[in-house]
Structure 1
């Protein structure tokens, strides 16, 4: 697979790093806080028939901010993506795949810049605002952030993994999604996620009327093995409000990492359907 081209784009309040690989119709792959590097195998699996663009969200990895204490919101990230589309010379609507917080970014993009999106596949967006126990869930997020600030990354990640459903309450020896000795970049990304990004993402309330009235086709993706996860419930809730049925993808919340080729093939079918 040819080496992707890397680029940097000035945006409001900072600089956006992105990568381009492959040929064919444009496909944006969005994460939050996942960066471009984390999507490399998935992007390569799609690059045979797509021009795949991945990026580091604002304040994450190589995307820098003038004010590192500025909070990240779906609206800000959506405007970044619109600026990225301008830089790519995308004059017609494009396809977008967003995972987790990236799915929330994609929804904000479809609301704020509806003419830019052809099909959005929103894979398991953590929209706590759509749940019947939203207030209690928001309080848990507040507690996670406080735990990070008081006790550090290990304790915060354990609460996060339990909150999402990857770990059962009280389970010993639970894994955390970071190396034992994280790099300075990993530490900075974790800080960014807990302190400046999680609140804005999980408290986002999509404008359902705007999404259903807009020109973009919105597809809610849900993992075949995600039934025990909180993002299964948020995805079902979003699809219900949109009046659609969720589309099942291989694996769980990170299915594109563990079942990359199979996941990519389902995404191809959805985008051409």
Structure 2
């Protein structure tokens, strides 16, 4: 497979790295938490037969450098970056896919710039404030942040994963609900580890591993505490699809997704895998995303 075209878009306060594949309607793909475009390489490649897929590194992550010192992440500022990418690369209305914190960004983009969005597929956004009682989830986020400040990144990762019953000794375990996980080997590579398009898992893993300071220090809490404008999103223009992994049933993130779907008076779409289904089941995930987009 050919490498994607890459580019850098200058935005106020940052430079956004993006990767373009294929042709057809624009599909903007937004990764979550500390992740970058590399984790979405497989579905982006699989969908490039039908769409111009554009995956990017959110500002402050990996190759999207900030111009100054990092501050707490602002979901609506992230959405402005996404809007500038849409305007730069096709003008919209674009199809938008976001996962975890990236789904929060996609929802913000749809509410703030509905003229630029045709459909947004929000895969398991961690919008904790939509829970009937978010206090426990918020306390967990605060505990992870406090662990990070007191003991550093490795301790925060272990605490975060332990809260979700995941094995912190295995770098390829399923993702935690806020995307605080390095990518699995299926992102941009095949089962034999061969890099298929120049955006392989080893390079992605190394980049994402370097983003955890920024994520724990400035992203975990603001990304989770952002409240989508459900009144604006419930109008149906643009169309909003809430995507939930079938292996996430029973987890807090699944309950959050159900709360969002209820607020929008819509039924959630069933997607393969868990919070990281786009990596563990890339082919089935790409098919589910294509169905959800409804083209």
TM-score over 0.5 (shorter chain): yes
Whether the 8 Å CA contact 1:22–1:51 is kept in 2: the answer is yes
Query: Which residue of structure 2 lines up, in the alignment, with residue 69 of structure 1?
Result: 70
Counterparts in 2 of 1:2 and 1:234: CA distance versus 1, 3 Å: same
What CA deviation, in whole Å up to 9, does each residue of 1:167-196 have, x standing for no partner? 3xxxx86545459xx987445400111111
Q: How does 1:26-45 map to 2 (within 5 A)?
A: 26-33=26-33, 34-45=35-46
Query: Which residue of structure 1 lines up, in the alignment, with residue 230 of structure 2?
Result: 208
Whether the 8 Å CA contact 1:31–1:57 is kept in 2: the answer is yes
Whether the 8 Å CA contact 1:20–1:52 is kept in 2: the answer is yes
Query: Which residue of structure 2 lines up, in the alignment, with residue 151 of structure 1?
Result: 151
Query: Which residue of structure 1 lines up, in the alignment, with residue 94 of structure 2?
Result: 94
Whether the 8 Å CA contact 1:31–1:99 is kept in 2: the answer is yes
Aligned length: 265
What CA deviation, in whole Å up to 9, does each residue of 1:76-111 have, x standing for no partner? 100000011111132x31111110011000000011
Query: Which residue of structure 2 lines up, in the alignment, with residue 272 of structure 1?
Result: 294
Aligned mates of 1:269, 1:58 — CA distance in 2: 29
Query: Which residue of structure 1 lines up, in the alignment, with residue 175 of structure 2?
Result: none
Give the gaps of 5 or more residues in structure 1.
none
Q: How does 1:1-273 map to 2 (within 5 A)?
A: 1-33=1-33, 34-90=35-91, 92-163=92-163, 165-167=164-166, 175=170, 177-178=181-182, 185-213=207-235, 215-272=237-294
Whether the 8 Å CA contact 1:121–1:220 is kept in 2: the answer is yes
Whether the 8 Å CA contact 1:158–1:175 is kept in 2: the answer is no
Whether the 8 Å CA contact 2:36–2:208 is kept in 1: the answer is no
After superposing on structure 2, the runs of 4+ consecutive aligned residues of structure 1 that deviate more than 6 Å are none
What CA deviation, in whole Å up to 9, does each residue of 1:36-63 have, x standing for no partner? 1111112111111111000000000000
Aligned mates of 1:155, 1:250 — CA distance in 2: 30
Give the gaps of 5 or more residues in structure 2.
172-180, 184-202
Q: Which has the higher contact order (CA 8 A, sep 6+)?
A: 2
Aligned mates of 1:251, 1:111 — CA distance in 2: 28
Aligned mates of 1:184, 1:5 — CA distance in 2: 21
TM-score computed with the length of structure 1 as normaliser: 0.91
Aligned mates of 1:173, 1:193 — CA distance in 2: 17
> Could you say what secondary structure the match of 1:243 adopts?
coil
TM-score computed with the length of structure 2 as normaliser: 0.85
